């Protein structure tokens, strides 16, 4: 992994960019702030279905319960330029990972893409489940919080 953890740029990606990746962005931003790191975090969706929209109200509420405000985020679609701009592109599930690679402009840049739960200490779960239809935002929050913690520890000690 080639990293520049002085001012790393990380892009969280899910399908709609209204549930999982906005939460992931908010959680990592909060942790980055707490650790006084100068990193930039953003999020995007492989679909443009919700482009321009705020995060899902359930995601906003889940974040708020943890003193994180994600209500200013707006959904946008992943672009080929994102693979140049960001150091890490973190996918929520396997389908998401494959959809992200379809947008990737070169083989080399594909090494920036990882499943976010690769960074969790507990490696039993590989995918962050899509909560849009079935709910489960607390579990999504817990999985993302754990992964973001692992990501920061991994980078800072690297």
Query: ∠ CA(148), CA(75), CA(54), 5° rounding?
Result: 95
Per the residue annotation, which of 20, 99, 104, 148 is the catalytic one?
20
Alpha-carbon dihedral 80, 126, 92, 84, rounded to 10 degrees: -30
By CB under 6 A, which span of 18-26, 31-39, 63-71, 147-155 interacts with ligand 4NP? 18-26
- Count interface residues toward ligand 4NP (CB under 6 A): 10
Q: Whose CB is nearest to ligand 4NP?
A: 16
Instruction: Say whether 19 is catalytic.
Output: no
Tell me: does residue 11 bind ligand 4NP (CB under 6 A): no
Nearer to ligand 4NP, 59 or 155 (CB): 59
Q: In what order do the strands lie in the sheet with 88-91?
A: 40-45, 9-14, 88-91, 113-115
Smallest CA-to-CA distance from 24 within 130, 143, 129 is with 143
Q: Using CB under 6 A as the criterion, which residues of the chain lie in contact with ligand 4NP when the complex forms? A: 14-20, 49, 130, 132
């Amino acid at each position: 992994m080639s990293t520049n953890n002085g001012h790393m740029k990380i892009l969280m990606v899910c399908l709609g960019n209204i549930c999982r990746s906005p939460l992931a962005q908010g959680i990592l931003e909060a942790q980055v702030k707490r650790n006084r790191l100068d990193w930039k975090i953003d999020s995007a969706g492989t679909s443009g279905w919700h482009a321009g929209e705020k995060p899902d109200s359930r995601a906003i509420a889940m974040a708020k319960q943890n003193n994180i405000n994600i209500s200013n985020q707006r959904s946008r679609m992943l672009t080929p330029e994102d693979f140049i701009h960001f150091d890490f592109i973190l996918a929520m599930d396997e389908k998401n990972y494959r959809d992200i690679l379809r947008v990737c402009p070169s083989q080399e840049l594909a090494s920036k893409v990882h499943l976010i739960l690769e960074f969790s200490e507990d490696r039993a779960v590989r995918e962050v489940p899509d909560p849009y239809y079935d709910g489960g935002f607390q579990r999504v929050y817990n999985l993302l919080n754990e992964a973001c913690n692992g990501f920061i520890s991994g980078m800072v000690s690297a």
